Amino acid sequence: MDAIVIQILNGLDKGSAYALIALGLTLIFGTLGVVNFAHGALFMIGAFCAVTFSKFLNLSHIVIDETRKDFLGNPLKVEVPYIYDFFGQATGDAIIDWAVPLSIIFAIPVMIAIGFIMERGLIKHFYKRPHADQILVTFGLAIVLQEVIKYYYGANPIPTPAPAAFAGSFDFGAMLGFDPNQIIYPYWRLVYFAFAAVIIGAVFAFLQFTTFGMVVRAGMADRETVGLLGIDIDKRFTIMFGIAAAVAGLAGVMYAPINSPNYHMGMDFLVLSFVVVVVGGMGSLPGAVLAGFLLGILESFASMAVVLETLPGINQIIIYLVAIIILLTRPRGLMGRKGVMEE
């Protein structure tokens, strides 16, 4: 029982990352009809927003400490962050400690700007082009983005810890009434899950309860008619692209403390997030979210030692196996609309 509860938690957590990325992908699929292979790269750039912001907070000047030696035996050059000079060491450390949550503020405008630039500068010209061309251009863009990041940050993962207040774990099981010390769960993963829930809720609320969202939904259903009504649907779609980029970016920022960011983390997620979107059904936002959580939970269950003993290697293929089964039993995924990306 404990083992199952904890894998459900893990699944929800993994699922939140899948769901957030898939949500952004579906927004772009659904609104613009563009297969965006650069979406994983947006997730990666989000994580690197956190890295960059923490680098920025750590900008340092060098003080030579004669009493200590570096690896060559020369006097050690100690780097003192400028932030110490402004706020003193204690406050400075506290700010640096909170770099990841603070970088959300930094990431939102950056990601929206990147989304706008991508859409206006590149994607716009590909609406009428075949999907194959969209794949080629966005894949090229994804490679370029990740190589630029690699050029500046290297290929090695960069540790980006959560604030000390959220760094540890606690006995989540005891809170739910299980035996103590059986379900220990990290704070940050719960934060991630809550954060994902808020973002997903906000996107749905935005689309459901605002006039803007209503128009966008109408545009998703029938772009031409909405255009004929004299509504500048293109502009709204650009904004939706910015929002999708921001959702992917925020998913990345908050993911940084869970796994140290590296330049190819976007590619690692790309294929999975496409599977999630398609299993959820093309053009369906709830489908994408549902599939994200479903596949996350199934993947976690498949990783259990008991399961692996009976079915060795199932953890390697579970997602794809489930995807095949779902697509064969439900032709358009879980909640897909007819005619979207079926040609």
Partner 1 sequence: MFGLNKRDFSLLLIVAFLALAAPFILNPFPEGSAMAQFNAGYPDLMQRLVIFGIFAIGFNILFGLTGYLSFGHAAFLGVGSYAAIWMMKLLTMNVIPAIIVSVLIAGLFSLLVGWISLRRSGIYFSILTLAFAQMSYALAYSVLTPITGGETGLQPKYTDARILDAALEPGQQPRANLFGVEMNDGFELVMGNWVFTFNAGYYIAAVVMLIAFYLSIRIFRSPFGMMLRAVKSNQQRMNFTGLNSKPYTLAAFVISGMYAGLAGGLLVAMDTQVGAERMFWTASGEVVLMTILGGAGTLIGPVLGAGFIKYMENIVSKINETILEQWFAFMPDWLGDFMVAIIYPFIGKGWHLTLGLIFMLVVIFLPGGLVEGGQRIGRMFKRKQPQDNTPDASKTPAE
Partner 2 sequence: MSFKNLTRRGVIKTGAIAGAGLALPTYLRADGHSGFTNAPQGDTVTLGFNVPQSGPYADEGADELRAFQLAVEHLNGEGDGGMLQTFSSKALDGTGILGKKVQYVSGDTQTKSDAARASAKSMIEKDGAVMISGGSSSGVAVAVQALCQEAGIIFMAGLTHSNDTTGKDKRANGFRHFFNSYMSGAALAPILAKEYGTDRKAYHLTADYNWGYTTEEAVRSSTEAMGWETVNAVKTPLTATDFSAYIAPVIQSGADVLVLNHYGGNMVNSLTNAVQFGLRDQTVNGKQFEIVVPLYSELMARGAGANIKGIIGSQNWDWSLEDKLGARYTGTNAFVQSFGTKYGFPPSQAAHTCYVQTLLYADAVTRGGSFNPCSVVEALAGFEFDGLGNGPTLYRADDHQCFKDVLVVKGKENPENQYDLVEIVEVTPAEQVTYAPDHPQFAGGSLGTCNPGA
Q: Which residues bind partner 2 (CB under 8 A)?
A: 2-3, 6-7, 9-11, 13-14, 17, 68, 70-72, 76, 150, 154-159, 161, 167-170, 181-182, 184-186, 188-189, 258-260, 262, 264-265, 268-269, 299-300, 303-305, 308, 312-313, 315-316
Give a three-class secondary structure readout of the chain: CHHHHHHHHHHHHHHHHHHHHHHHHHHHHHHHCCCCCCHHHHHHHHHHHHHHHHHHHCCEEEEEEEEEECCCCCEEEEEEEHHHHHHHHHHHHHHHHCHHHHHHHHHHHHHHHHHHHHHHHCHHHHCCCCHHHHHHHHHHHHHHHHHHHHHHHCCCCCCCCCCHHHHCEEEHHHHHCCCCCCCEEEHHHHHHHHHHHHHHHHHHHHHHHCHHHHHHHHHHHCHHHHHHCCCCHHHHHHHHHHHHHHHHHHHHHHHCCCCCCCCCHHHHHHHHHHHHHHHHCCCCHHHHHHHHHHHHHHHHHHCCHHHHHHCCCHHHHHHHHHHHHHHHHCCCCCCCCCCCCCC
**CB under 5 to 8 A by kind: which of partner 2, partner 1, none does 236 bind?**
none
Residues 296-315 that bind partner 1 (CB under 8 A): 312-313
- Rounded CA-CA distance 87/62 in Å is 18
**CB under 5 to 8 A by kind: which of partner 2, partner 1, none does 278 bind?**
partner 1
Is residue 320 close enough to count as binding partner 1 by CB under 8 A?
A: yes
The nearest distance, CB 59 to partner 1, in angstroms, is 24
**CB under 5 to 8 A by kind: which of partner 2, partner 1, none does 3 bind?**
partner 2
**CB under 5 to 8 A by kind: which of partner 2, partner 1, none does 264 bind?**
partner 2
Residues 199-258 that bind partner 1 (CB under 8 A): none
**Closest CB to partner 2 among residues 86, 170:** 170
**Closest CB to partner 1 among residues 1, 328:** 328
**Closest CB to partner 1 among residues 8, 141:** 141
Residues 138-167 that bind partner 1 (CB under 8 A): 139-144, 147-148, 151
Number of residues that bind partner 1 (CB under 8 A): 42
Contacting partner 1 (CB under 8 A), which of 55, 182, 327, 337?
327
Residues near partner 1 (CB under 8 A) are: 35, 122, 125, 129, 131-133, 135-137, 139-144, 147-148, 151, 267, 271, 274-275, 278-279, 282, 312-313, 316-317, 320-321, 323-324, 327-328, 331-333, 341-343
